[in-house]
Amino acid sequence: MSRVLVIGAGGVGSVAVHKMAMNADIFSSITLASRRREKCDAIAASVLERTGVSVETAALDADDVAATTALIEAVKPRLVVNLALPYQDLNIMEACLAAGVNYLDTANYEPRDEAKFEYRWQWAYQDRFREAGLMALLGSGFDPGVTSVFATYTKKHLLDRIDTLDILDCNGGDTGLPFATNFNPEINLREVTAPSRHWENGAWVEGPALAQKQVFDFDQVGPRNMYLMYHEELESLVKFYPEIKRIRFWMTFGDSYLKHLDVLQNVGLTRIDPVMFEGREIVPIQFLKALLPEPASLGPLTRGKTNIGTIASGTKDGARKTVYINNICDHEAAYAETGNQAVSYTTGVPAMIGAALMVTGQWKGEGVFNMEQLDPDPFTDMLNQHGLPWQIHDLDAPLAF
């Protein structure tokens, strides 16, 4: 029985809090804090209606370390679950250290003026968390998160050696809107407009954004174009699995999404550096975010499925073997259960599971941890029990190229 403080009342925070409330035997008390308290109150009302559980709410600017520390000290949680934006990660980690509380997030820290997607800022907290006897768990979403757990599961149970690993992220959902991002628009656009990068034979290989594609036939979605991209779990997979010769990340995009993205980029609306407008500085991508739909508003509109997984090839008992592990999640089913579409669902459920494993002590340690460092079995069991069932398929060969 444990008290948790969740920070961030977006789509992911909403799913995580709903799922925590559905597991009241693990989470005895939930407080949800975010920049706008009314968003926390709306989620609390939905949770009460769906589960009968009351969630405490609070207004918080998590960029303010002193205010965050004070809230943690007042709530006295066992764990702080950070589901705000990557910009807040270091401030919330600081507040956790000041208040002596464990930490979990789903996305690595990013400075506002650089789209780098690097763990180094958070890995630098290793000694401070270890010396304080606290645990920080990084990247407990789907990707990063479940994809790293699938790789760890593959290594533990399915292959003796992994030679190549491909992560395939397909959102086959359709909102009916001309252009919308399925998680925070600012973070999403920073990610997809960054140069592609993958790991091959001991070095990073960089290329232009979204320049390399191939068609993959996704179960229950159909054939889709998927594009080579950089994604943050590549860095931790490279660190913890130096044996893997090639690690890549692929994400599907429809032609209409890419056409809009092209135009937005060409006119400068995805820029992350400030420009002067009517005598004041504005950051174009932040202005664009204000115009685009909030991910949490897409729930009732989205139809179709996500299909995300890993294809690993290597050897088992001396023979070549390729295994594909994936989860398929239905947008409408996710919405019916939690009021949020599947991209928020597939992130919020793993956040709840990581939190459950930490507060029950099944995952424990002192210092800063990535998902690859922890036993995959309790996590994969909970995925099956809490709405994200996964399957293993044997494939004849690794991904085409």
Q: Helix (H, G, I), strand (E, B), or coil: what is residue 46?
A: helix
Closest approach of Cβ 258 to ligand NDP, in Å?
20
Work out whether 35 is an interface residue with ligand NDP (CB under 6 A). Answer: yes
Say if residues 230 and 222 touch (Cβ distance below 8 Å): no
- Residues near ligand NDP (CB under 6 A), total: 35
Integer-rounded Cα Rg, in Å, for the chain is 20
18, 39, 190, 198: residue in contact with ligand NDP (rule CB under 6 A) = 39
> Judging by beta carbons within 10 Å of its beta carbon (0-12, 13-18, 19+), is residue 203 exposed, middle or buried?
exposed
Say if residues 347 and 142 touch (Cβ distance below 8 Å): yes
Say if residues 21 and 51 touch (Cβ distance below 8 Å): yes
Work out whether 36 is an interface residue with ligand NDP (CB under 6 A). Answer: yes
What residues are paired with 206 via a beta bridge?
A: 197
Beta carbon nearer to ligand NDP, 7 or 272: 7
Work out whether 325 is an interface residue with ligand NDP (CB under 6 A). Answer: no
How far, in Å, CA of 98 to CA of 183, rounded?
30
Work out whether 104 is an interface residue with ligand NDP (CB under 6 A). Answer: no
How far, in Å, CA of 272 to CA of 158, rounded?
42
Residues 328-387 that bind ligand NDP (CB under 6 A): 344, 347
Work out whether 183 is an interface residue with ligand NDP (CB under 6 A). Answer: yes
Beta carbon nearer to ligand NDP, 242 or 300: 300
Work out whether 11 is an interface residue with ligand NDP (CB under 6 A). Answer: yes
Q: Residue 198 — φ and ψ, nearest 5°?
A: -140, 170
Instruction: From 139-147, 205-213, 318-326, 374-382, give the range in contact with ligand NDP by CB under 6 A.
Output: 139-147
Residues 215-274 that bind ligand NDP (CB under 6 A): none
77, 173, 284, 295: residue in contact with ligand NDP (rule CB under 6 A) = 295
Residue ranges of the alpha helices (H) in 52-133? 65-75, 89-99, 120-123, 126-131
Q: Contact positions toward ligand NDP, by CB under 6 A? A: 7-13, 34-36, 39, 60-63, 83-86, 88, 106-107, 141-145, 183-184, 187, 294-296, 344, 347
